[in-house]
Each structure stands twice: as structure tokens, then as C-alpha cells.
Amino acid sequence: MTDKIRVRFAPSPTGYLHVGGARTALFNWLFARHNGGEFVLRVEDTDTARNRDEFERGIFDGLRWLGLTWDEGPDIGGAFGPYRQSERQALYREAAEKLRASGHVYECFCTDTEPDVQSSESVPTDRTAADRTAASCPCRALEPAVRLERMAAGEPAALRMAVDPTLAITVVDLIRGDVTFPPGTVPDFIVVKRDGGALYNFAVVSDDHSMRITHVIRGEEHLANTPKQLLIYEALGWQPPAFAHIPIILNEQRRKLSKRDGATFVNDYETMGFLPQALVNFLALLGWSPGDNREILSIEEMIRDFTLAGVVKHPAIFDPAKLAWMNKEYMKQVAPDDLAHMVATLLPVLRPNAARKDAPHVARVTALLAERVRTIAEIIEHGAYFFDTDPPEPTSEALSKHCAAPDTVGRLAAVRDALVKADDFSVAGVEAAIRGLAEANGTKAATYIHPLRVALTGQAVSPGIFEVASILGRDVALARIDALLNRLALAPAPRS
RNA sequence: GGCCCCAUCGUCUAGAGGCCUAGGACGCCGCCCUCUCAAGGCGGAGACAGGGAUUCGAAUUCCCUUGGGGCUACCA
């Protein structure tokens, strides 16, 4: 029981679920499921200035959408709650008292290192460089009597860890091996703020210990924090968990992925019409490999084959093109009805003014477009002319490419005539009408097809035109041909 | 600046001394199919950062250089 594997994902609600965070959550989740362990969700909301409830909900929703279910968490409870750090302050005070009693921390009365709270994006400048290079704070050398006196006077003090500057600290990392930090590289650091609140490194240790976390799997940006946490474990006499620092995800400019990089939150992908399964598969392969050449892996396979040994050490660049490809692969596996339902769900979001959105119509459009797009949203974008009643505005490319010939108007008129006379407007019926027309005139069907495409879709490219016409229906098709005919009569298309 | 991590095709990666004239996938480029697109088929270009060392033999081990990244808050 005690050696049951327990991991956690500990986001801070200062933003929505980031793909980097999602990938960290995924690796933790896979590790837990692979080992029959437990996956704990903990909210690290000790930064009260930047937290927002909305973000917490968004993170939960994102995880659920991806299918990363947790065994314990703020919303469902568990044996080691509460699961929000803001609700665990008493635990931290207790641990802090222990540290104080054992002489591992000292009161720090400094006030000159207030963080710049103006903008959360701001990076610390070098103005406190001198302070930061100092291994310890002057307060550490304060006479006990002076210290007591100032405390008695009610002067607020932070608690700072008294780090032994002669000791090297080694982090044993499951992915990177032993990482040693030389003596003196870890300065005395704050553990409890002046307002009494526990700081990240301290709260994390306290929580991971009391929640019986056995493996801490987190982003590499935390590697440099680990010696501090190790020091706290030692001071408290606690056994530290195993650590595994996974490589971070970079943007295409090779920088840490940030909100400036376009779509970086998982809910962005949801609204862009990605399938959660595809995102999960893609994220799993960012930094992890099953060891063979498989690219498309089911959740079951991922769980079965996931090991930390299969995680690479180097950072990975997020490649949207490969994600798109993968999404298409997953779209191929979705039943047509389900796909149509997804389109119907997204349609009001992406095209609130869609005029034609009845289920049978959406289903036909989806079936036609699905094989030539990479996301659900693209069905709606590329097939916009299916959802509108007004004739599409032809693109300049479509006009110059397919309507520049002098006899375009004549051909279009002939097509119109043929479509009026078509026995029926099924795909076969439309095709018979157009091909019959071409045959009668001894020309290639393409000469009629392309102008018709422009009339019906406004685009130079589209799905098969017979299908398009059939779905649109005779009335709409004729109206669109008339519209283009009018347009060409008023302003002849430019020569190509 | 200091400390730490990392380094195979443009990108994600396989590779744990000979199986590597380095494999796969995305992307890219041709050709075929074809009403355009997509899909599909066939073919192609494309990498072990550099230098030392160890070894009979290094993509694989060690060192240095270079490059990239992370951390360096009373943020997480």
C-alpha cells in the first residue's frame, strides 16, 4: 500500500491549460496508469495576486477534454486533501514551525526586494543582482537578542532557509541521471513570505510529502529548483520522492512556448476543431517515443508502453503541421455521423449566421469535405458556401484562373441550360448533364466544370463539382450561376 | 554574469561500440491518377555541430569548443 505509485499534476491557476502543462499532465497520467498508481490533481494557488477561478475551471475542463482523469483532486476530494494550496496553509505553518525550531530557517527583515507587481510578464531586472549573488542575507548574522527584539516589536519577517554554503547538492533524476549543484550555488531562499504565506518551493515539498507522492514528474524548468526542495526535505527529515524532469516544449523560434505563439492553450485546439485523441497522441510523441516506428498509438498502447526511459532529454519544438496531419489521421477513424455531429456543434461557434444548418445537410457536407481537410473547423471554413444562401464572392484567383476565357459567359449559360434540363439533381444526374453537354460540343468537360466551380463555390478549388451541385440543389445552383453571369456581364474578368 | 540541462534530416524521433553506405514519421520536391483540391500509388532531396581522446572499430564512451535552452522573485 505504501509503495503504491502516486504522481501529481500541480498547475497554478494563473492561465488556461497550456500545451506544455497538458503534456506534463499526460506523462504523469500515463506513468500512473502504466504502473497501476494514482494520479493526483493539486492546485497551486499560493500566488493570490494572479489566480483566477476561471482559470482553474478552464484547466479542469482542458484535462477532462483530453481524457486525463484524476483519482484525487479539489473537485472530487481524496484521502490526502485538501487539494488547493490555499486551503493548506495550516499544514505549511506547522512545517515552518518545525524548521524554525530546528534552526534551519531564520527571520529575514529585508524589504528591498519587493517584486514588481505591475506586470506579471515582467522579468526581474538586474537591479538586485548584487543581492542575488550574495549567498545569504545579512539577517542571517543578526544577534539573537536583536532578532528577538525586532520580532517582539512586531516587525514583519519572512523566513529564509539557512543553506550550508559548503555543501554540494545532487539531484538524482530518473531521466537525466545525477545532477550536481556545486557548493554555494544555492543561496538562502525564502520559504515563508512576510505575510505568512508559504512560497512555492516550500509548499510543494510539504504537499508532495503529505500527499505521499512517490514520483515528481515535471518540466525541466523546475530542475534548478530541485536542490532547494531537497534541502527542505532534509531539514524536515523527510524522504524525498523520485524526480524526473521532462524536456520543455519550444516554439518554432526555439523559445519556450508562450501565449505569444498563437495557439498554445488546449482549449484553442478544441475550438479549432482538433480531436482530443489526436492532441494526446501528438503530445505523447513530443519527448517520448515507444522505441519503434509507430506514430499512431491508442491510449491503451500508450499506457502499456510508456516508460520514463523512453523520454528524451532534449527540448522539442512544437510542430503544428504534424499535429494537423495526425488530426486528419484520427478524423479518418471517426464515424461519419459523429463527424457530422462535431461539425454541427462547432458551426454556431464559427459561423453564427449560417443559414443552412439542418442535420441532413451538415451530414452531406461533412461527408464530402472530411477527406480533404485536417480539422473539423476546416470543414466549416472551406465549406462556407454550403452554409450560406447568398452566392459566394469569387476570389480573384478563381476569376483569373477559370473565368478569363472570352467564352466563359457562353459556357456558363450552356451549363445553366443543361442543369435546368437535367432529369434529376442527384450526383449522377448532374454529372450526366454536364458530360452530355461537353460531348455534344466536342469539348472536355473541364471547360464547363471550372467556371461552374467558380459560380457555385467562388473558389478555384473545391470537392467534386457534381457532388457540390447536388448538395446545393438545383435552385441554389441556378441562382449562383446567374449571379456569376451578371457579374461577368458587368465587369469582365481580367485576362490571366 | 553565475549555476544547470541539452545537441542525429527543416521538424518529431529510432539508434544504448561493429546489425548504420544512419531507419521511420511530418513537411518538402517530382511523376502517375484526375474536373480543381484532397486521398492514393511510385520515386527523390534531406542529419550524426566542430575538434581532440579511448578502441581493432565510434552517431553511440570521455574531454574541450561552439551552439541552443532553462533557472537565477517574499511567481509558479
User: Could you say which of A193, A256, A259, A401 is catalytic?
Assistant: A259
Nucleotides of B under 7 A from a protein CB: 1-8, 10-16, 23-27, 35-39, 68-76
pLDDT value at A424 more than 50 = yes
A208-258: per-residue pLDDT in tens? Answer: 999 999 999 999 999 999 999 999 999 999 999 999 999 999 888 888 877
* Three-class HEC string of chain A: CCCCCEEEECCCCCCCCEHHHHHHHHHHHHHHHHCCCEEEECECCCCCCCCCHHHHHHHHHHHHHHCCCCCEECCCECCCCCCEHHHCHHHHHHHHHHHHHCCCEEEECCCCCCCCCCCCCCCCCHHHHHHHHCCCCHHHHCCHHHHHHHHHCCCCCEEEECCCCCCCEEEEECCCEEEEECCCCCCCCEEECCCCCECHHHHHHHHHHHCCCCEEEEEHHHHHHHHHHHHHHHHHCCCCCEEEEECCEECCCCCECCHHHCCCEHHHHHHCCCCHHHHHHHHHCCCECCCCCCCCCCHHHHHHHCCHHHECCCCEECCHHHHHHHHHHHHHHCCHHHHHHHHHHHHHHHCCCCCCCCHHHHHHHHHHHHHHCCCHHHHHHHCHHHHCCCCCCCCHHHHHHHCCCCCHHHHHHHHHHHHHHCCCCCHHHHHHHHHHHHHHHCCCCHHHHHHHHHHHHCCCCCCCHHHHHHHHCHHHHHHHHHHHHHHHHHCCCCCC
A259 given a catalytic annotation: yes
ipTM for the predicted complex comes to: 0.95
Q: Is nucleic acid strand B under 7 Å from A464's C-beta?
A: yes
Name residues 49-88 of chain A with a Cβ under 7 Å from nucleic strand B.
50
Name residues 181-200 of chain A with a Cβ under 7 Å from nucleic strand B.
181-182, 185, 187, 189-190, 193-195, 197, 199-200
Q: Is nucleic acid strand B under 7 Å from A236's C-beta?
A: no
What global pTM score does this model have? 0.91
A96-149: per-residue pLDDT in tens? Answer: 999 999 999 999 988 764 433 333 333 333 334 334 446 778 888 888 888 889
Task: State, as a whole number of angstroms, the distance between the CA of A350 and the C1' of B36.
Answer: 26
pLDDT value at A41 more than 70 = yes
Task: State, as a whole number of angstroms, the distance between the CA of A294 and the C1' of B8.
Answer: 19
A341-387: per-residue pLDDT in tens? Answer: 999 999 999 999 888 889 999 999 999 999 999 999 999 999 999 99
Q: Is nucleic acid strand B under 7 Å from A295's C-beta?
A: yes
Task: State, as a whole number of angstroms, the distance between the CA of A81 and the C1' of B61.
Answer: 48
